[in-house]
Structure 1
Amino acid sequence: MWKAYAKAGLTANPDEPDLAVYATDPALKLLRDGLAGYQAKGQVFKGEYGSTPSAVEATPAAAPTTVIIADCLDSTNFLVYKASGEKADDIPGGRRSTSATVKSQGGVWRVTSFAVREKGTC
């Protein structure tokens, strides 16, 4: 999901088709709304997220349909730029504790919700 979001951020495209491959509402809406906000301000973002997700819970245990994933998302090399190519600000990214709920829907796993905590939480 984060790679699709980074790809969409290159043009701040809330309609990037890859987003729906990895996320569904309400997570998908949250991603799209964020991108639309950047687009409205004439901003894009560039860089890569560092991510090492791990499943911390799966239910039901015998045949999981819901998995909770924990991560420490590293946005150190992920920055916001103006359309002109200049940095939008000098605020560096950082490491943030994240969690996501992933559900199997029709045999396809997608993120249904996620939380990204403030910088320095992991």
Structure 2
Amino acid sequence: MWQDFVAAGTTSDWQSAKLGQHATGIALTNLSRGLYADHVNGLVTKGEPKLSPTVSSVEPADTPTKIVVTDCGDSTNWLKYRKDNGQLADNKPGGRHLINAIVQKQTDGSWKVSDYGVHDAGTC
């Protein structure tokens, strides 16, 4: 999901079909809304975050349909820039963010992120 979001962020393409390949529900809505806001504000995102996700819980244990993934993502090299002049638009230098995501098995057997939360920089 994050790779698709990073790719779409380079042009703030809130309509990227790739977003729906790995996200659904609230997660997909939040990704699209964030990219739409960047588009309207003339922003693009450059670079990429450093991620090291781990599974923190599985439900039910014997035949999982829901997994909670936790990460401490580093956004230091993943920042917003003005599309018109290429100038850095972020007034924060990025940092390490606690990320929690719910990944659910879909009716077609695929797994998609259905919700996620990214906490403020410095939370991990």
TM-score scaled to structure 2, two decimals? 0.95
Matched, 1:10 2:7: no
> What is the Cα deviation at residue 89 of structure 1?
3.5
- Kindly provide the CA deviation profile for residues 38-93 of structure 1, in whole angstroms up to 9, marking residues without a partner as x: 00001101111100001111111111010000000110001110112111134211
For these two proteins, the number of residue pairs brought into alignment is 122
Paired position in structure 2 for 1:44: 44
Give unmatched runs, 5+ long, in structure 2: none
Matched, 1:103 2:104: yes
Deviates more, 1:13-22 or 1:29-38: 13-22
Paired position in structure 2 for 1:118: 120
Looking at structure 1, the residues matched to 71 and 79 of structure 2 have their Cα atoms a distance apart, in angstroms, of 20
Is the partner of 2:18 in helix, strand or coil?
helix
TM-score scaled to structure 1, two decimals? 0.97
Compute the RMSD of aligned alpha carbons: 0.8
Paired position in structure 1 for 2:67: 67
Looking at structure 1, the residues matched to 117 and 26 of structure 2 have their Cα atoms a distance apart, in angstroms, of 12
